[in-house]
Structure 1
Amino acid sequence: MALVSSTELTADQSEKLQLLIDALPTILTELDKPTYDEIFGHRIGIEGTPYVEVAIRNEILLKFLVASEYDLALAKEKLVLTMNWRGKFNVLSAAYVEDFDAELEKMGIVTEFPGNKDNFRVVTWNFYNNVKLTKSWFVGFKAEEAAGTQQEPNGSPGLQFLRWRIGLMERSLALLEFSDSDNTKMAQVHDYKGASIFRIDSDMKAATKEIIKLFSDHYPELLSKKFFINVPLIMGWVFGFFRAMGIISASTLKRFEVMHHGDVSGLFGEDNLPAVYNGGLENRKVPDIFSKTVKKEAIALPTYAKVLLQQQGKIEGAAV
């Protein structure tokens, strides 16, 4: 029986994945907090352990293995680092419990287009014209905040931005079906229409690099495509900036596309989009993209995520 359903593995790849599965008892003993064995809301543990969904667990392990180019030692290291970070940062709280500044909430949404194929079903949108993204968001941003070792409610603006962005990412993950080849990854759209043109200074560059590294390290093989749309010609540096960071893999960079317009109807479907993203074609069913938002309360938490939040007293209810 195949270890995963999302893709067909070679004999060598299957063997490597099985070795990673067999190494789980050792991996779990290396965690800072062995009781925190969660990734993307799912339990990463030995078959037969409560709440371990083997099919989903295997798909998640495969993502870390692929991101490590099937280097077993590196994949094990990444898994340990990710579970340690998730426990310290309390990502589930950021996703499902915490409330953020209204300005941040206007900056991004998650949509779901059920009929879409090729991992274009779940999409996260970032709107840089809806918030004044200035240096103030990044001044004082600390690497230890990104590492989760500082979680003060009144942390730096950069920490608030990061917790909001992580929450958005986690909620989009809950809409994926890791065993479905058409919905095991998400697409992202970054809209720069009308965005203020800001200069990347040292504070912003350092914070941006830290955030990008965090996503690269802890959210592997989850991106189908990232579109930078409505990018003014004067902002042609955007793609070059990410390339110059030197921390995004070549395979991930290939999934980036810069567009100087906002028509993404050919990607996500005319019937799913309002005129502003539909080449001007009116769609009364979709007056604006915010009408397609999948709201936080409408997202079904993975079972183990719910259990952990209940144990923390973050949400009500008896353990599932």
Structure 2
Amino acid sequence: MTTEPTESATVESVIDSIKSQKLSKENAEKLLILIELLPQILSELNNPDYDEIFGYRINTNEKPHVNVPVRNEILLKYLAADKYDLELAKKRIINCLNWRNKFQPLHAAFEEKFDSELNELGVITNFNNTGANLKIITWNLYGNLKNPKKIFEKFGGNSIKELPGSQFLRWRIGLMEKSLQLVDFTDPKNNKIGQIHDYNNISMFKIDPGQKQSTKEIIEIFGSNYPELLSTKFFINVPLIMGWVFTFFKTIRIINEETLKKFQVLNNGNLTEFLPSNELPKSYGGSSGKSIFDLDISNSIKLNDYGEIILKKIGDDEIEHNNDDVE
């Protein structure tokens, strides 16, 4: 693997492209090498034509639809996640692109139809007057789960191709992908998202086995494929008896220490210490007369241009595959 940047770009140009943070010269050199490794990375993929992450094209500068500053910021997240180890970052990106090609998260977010019960389990909010990287938040309202057997069974979907994962898993990944369309990767105050897990009305003694499996899968998928995107994860209305769960996370080491530091565990649902009171529903300590579902913007989120191109290509491939089967 190349260990020195070439003369085709400069460290200074890479530093200038990064707006989300102040990048040292040493780390900029590594990012430059990673950018120059993109042709090699793409050549090693299961599908070398699949070059999309979060709806953005991850390819060389001269290719159409490459937003260079955003591409650099996304690559930097993968590099930082492995403490600027180039070999590990390269491997992570290859694995991520292969996973996206197989799982099709944009398809899950913008094309697939799920059981209506899932509308009660999660929302995306956009707060105007809040701290850095808490503007965009995904909420998981697990207490509203009524039919776990159906929700956590394998998803058949409305696609010609068989899609991996349970209905819940695909819906949850889709919720994440939608939220990332609202992130500005070049803005240090809005280049990450918050997550809120509300445990109100949840009994630890009635957790469905499918839910346990999906939770494990989500933790692994998010850890591998969505690096450096979480600002804070709130666990609210957590019964005291469930405190052992968070100790358990530390013990099994399925979640790294850096992520665990971002956890906020509350035995109540009052979030006014962290989010604007006038925008929060009363059920979360605020003064707004709106419910959390009134604040949901998930159905109005639009996919960016290159993401739309990828979805069209997936659709065209499905039609071609179907025609081949018919013949």
TM-score, normalised to structure 2, is 0.85
Residue 282 of structure 2 aligns with which residue? 275
TM-score, normalised to structure 1, is 0.87
Q: C-alpha distance in 2, partners of 1:282/1:58?
A: 40
Find the partner of 2:304 among 273, 281, 302: 302
Check whether the contact 1:3–1:14 (CA below 8 A) recurs between aligned residues: no
* Structural mapping, 1:58-137, within 5 Å: 58-132=72-146, 134=148
Stretches of structure 2 lacking an aligned partner (at least 5 in a row): 1-12, 317-327
Residue 293 of structure 2 aligns with which residue? 290
Residue 5 of structure 1 aligns with which residue? 19
Q: C-alpha distance in 2, partners of 1:231/1:188?
A: 15
Check whether the contact 2:166–2:214 (CA below 8 A) recurs between aligned residues: no
Q: C-alpha distance in 2, partners of 1:186/1:269?
A: 16
Local SS of the residue matching 2:176: helix
* CA RMSD of superposed structures (Å): 2.3
Check whether the contact 2:137–2:196 (CA below 8 A) recurs between aligned residues: yes
Residue 170 of structure 1 aligns with which residue? 177
| Count of aligned residue pairs for this structure pair | 299
Residue 192 of structure 2 aligns with which residue? 185
Local SS of the residue matching 1:271: coil
Q: Structure 1 residue 152 and structure 2 residue 162: aligned?
A: yes
Residue 57 of structure 1 aligns with which residue? 71
Give the superposition deviation at 1:55: 0.4
Once the two structures are superposed, residues 146-172 of structure 1 have per-residue CA deviations (whole angstroms, 9 ceiling, x without a partner) of: xxxx9637x8xx611100000000000
Structure 1 residues 6 and 38: alpha-carbon distance in aligned structure 2, compared to 1, 3 A threshold: same
Q: Percent identity?
A: 47
Aligned residue identity for 2:278: D
Once the two structures are superposed, residues 22-58 of structure 1 have per-residue CA deviations (whole angstroms, 9 ceiling, x without a partner) of: 1111111111111110000100000020110000000
Q: C-alpha distance in 1, partners of 2:284/2:209?
A: 34
Q: C-alpha distance in 2, partners of 1:237/1:163?
A: 28
Residue 313 of structure 2 aligns with which residue? 311
Give the superposition deviation at 1:235: 1.4
Q: C-alpha distance in 2, partners of 1:85/1:74?
A: 16
Q: C-alpha distance in 1, partners of 2:121/2:208?
A: 21
